[in-house]
Structure 1
């Protein structure tokens, strides 16, 4: 995979994570639980996040090894659960992921992106 493609996938991951956070901004968990449109939009964002991570894993496994601090398996696992067994997905867990875990992930992705651009 070219460096350009790798950066594109990292950017897609960050955009999807930011989108999921933005979709739930100002919401309570109860409001999220009651809002099917937001649930569907957020889960699609998580699918896009996981899909970009999976593509990096297939095409650039050394990048995954170099950035083991990211929860690659959890990201891809969430994507797989949503795609293959949506009705088993736990909305409370999705809420927790979006409102808590994605903040750290976005920060990590920004650091990786900055590192790649700087060539360090």
Structure 2
């Protein structure tokens, strides 16, 4: 399995840090929503307000995004929902996920 990379973007300091997703996490959660939820679970506590800067927005294309085929253009966006205070996510189609993967980045953690 190819190593997946996360770009951590801090909009306050305008810094970017790129890290690899641990292989055990990639094997267990594959990609897209699975790794998004893993990252959210390990970065946000129950005390984090959904509208605070500490609540990340995590964007992750699926494992097959960018390949030729039906359904191979999906991308998941996750964060702590202001409505429920729990996981909130959305799944989108289009070219964004494929173009992001072509840069060598598999996840954006904003």
Using structure 1 for the length normalisation, give the TM-score: 0.32
Using structure 2 for the length normalisation, give the TM-score: 0.34
Q: Which has the higher helix share?
A: 1
Q: Which has the higher strand share?
A: 2
